[in-house]
Amino acid sequence: MRRLCVLLLVMVVALAGCVQTQKSIIKPTPTSTQTKWTPVMGQVGQGRMGRGRTLINSSGAINVQNLKEFVYSVKAGNLTETEKEDLMHMVEEEKLARDVYLTLYEKWKNRIFYNIAQSEQTHLDAVRLLIEKYNLSDPTEGKGIGEFTNPKFGELYKKLINEGSNSLEDALKVGAMIEELDIVDLKNCLNHTDKVDIRTVYQNLMKGSRNHLRAFVSQLKMLGVNYEPVYLSKEEFESIISSGMERGPTT
């Protein structure tokens, strides 16, 4: 009987040691203190960008679904006539960029035009989110390549295609000029509104345009061409080109 008790005691001690050993080798799951994207909070009633929500990538393409969720989380205000006019202008200007790049891709088969045209489609869709939200009439609806409601854009499209058809170098310069023009116009539009949803869209469009400008200028440098800005000041242009590609949420 005594031998049985001793045996049982030995087994209990051994089992306890085994459990203790198992506990000692189980490491707690590390808790990361960093996230890929920092959550961006608006003021009360002005919308919220949740953790991990990407609005734009380094190629300048906008995540339209994530942007839509943010735009519709912001309470709609009353638009001024200038704000309406700016939205009408920017939706056609984004279509202009897309249409020119698609046409120049067909001409030169250079991948940069195709890739940026796809990005410009997301820019076009981003402005359309605001047009839809504020129940405005979309001037680009049903329009084909090179077709515009505002005749100014129709004339500009033809001019840019003619210039870009001369050579690949000229086509890349056309791309850079379009992005410059986009940046200038978006800055003007930002000065005309204090609405968080509209400013968020414009700020991300401008970030994408800066990325596109960097891409076109980089391609020109590979051809041995130093691009000179047309619409931007020399200082602002150099500041953009000397900085890296941008990405992430902007509110």
Average pLDDT, the chain: 83
With 0.85 as the threshold, say if the pTM is over it. no
CA atoms within 13 A on the CB side of 247: 12
Measured at the CA of 230, the angle between CA 226 and CA 231, to 5 degrees, comes to: 135
Which has more pLDDT, 98 or 7? Answer: 98
Tokens found for residue 247: 């990405």
Domain boundaries, the chain: 40-241
Report, as an integer, the average pLDDT of 63-86.
96
Residue 18, pLDDT > 70, answer: no
Report whether CATH 1.20.1260.10 matches the domain 40-241.
yes
- Residue 39 and residue 66 in contact, taking contact as beta carbons nearer than 8 Å: no
| Per-residue model confidence (pLDDT) at position 111 | 97
The pLDDT value given to residue 2: 47
> Strand pairing of 48-49 and 40-41?
antiparallel
Q: How far apart are CA 189 and CA 117, in angstroms?
A: 22
Angstrom distance (rounded) from CA 77 to CA 133 = 10
pLDDT at 29: 28
Per-residue pLDDT at 56: 87
pLDDT band at residue 249 under the 50/70/90 scheme: low
Give pLDDT, residue 59: 82
Q: Please compute Rg for the chain using Cα positions.
A: 27
Average pLDDT over residues 93-101: 98
Kindly compute the dihedral angle of the four CA atoms of residues 191, 192, 195, 196, in this order, to the nearest 10 degrees.
-30
**How many Å apart are CA 104 and CA 236, to the nearest integer?**
27
